[in-house]
């Protein structure tokens, strides 16, 4: 199935990608941002914050936005 994936990490990009049916948001995160900690990201589907176990649907708009910038002081 096809979704719009928006990665706001670093330079950022957006692209339509194919994902397996039944894939969760957490599985997509692990596949796309292998070494990142999901607790450091605001994860949204169709502009709404979601739980990691939410199953993706055809046409969803998924965005991963970092909440912590490496090297920035708190």
Residue 19: CA count within 13 A, CB half-sphere: 27
Pairing of strands 2-7, 61-66: parallel
Q: Give the closest residue to 9 by CA, choosing from 73, 71, 69.
A: 69
Architecture of the domain spanning 2-66: Roll (3.10)
How long, in residues, is the chain? 74
Interval 3-12: pLDDT, tens: 999 988 777 7
The per-residue pLDDT for range 2-54, each reduced to its tens digit, is 999 998 877 778 999 999 999 999 999 999 998 889 999 999 999 999 999 99
H runs (alpha helix) in the chain: 25-32
CA-CA distance, 22 to 20, in Å (whole number)? 6
Domain layout of the chain by residue ranges: 2-66
């Amino acid at each position: 199935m096809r979704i719009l994936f928006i990665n706001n990490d670093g330079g950022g990009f957006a692209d339509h990608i194919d994902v397996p049916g039944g894939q969760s948001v957490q599985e997509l995160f692990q596949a796309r941002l292998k070494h990142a900690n999901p607790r450091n990201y605001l994860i949204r589907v169709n502009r709404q914050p979601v739980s990691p176990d939410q199953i993706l649907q055809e046409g969803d708009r998924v965005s991963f936005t970092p909440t912590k910038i490496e090297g920035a002081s708190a």
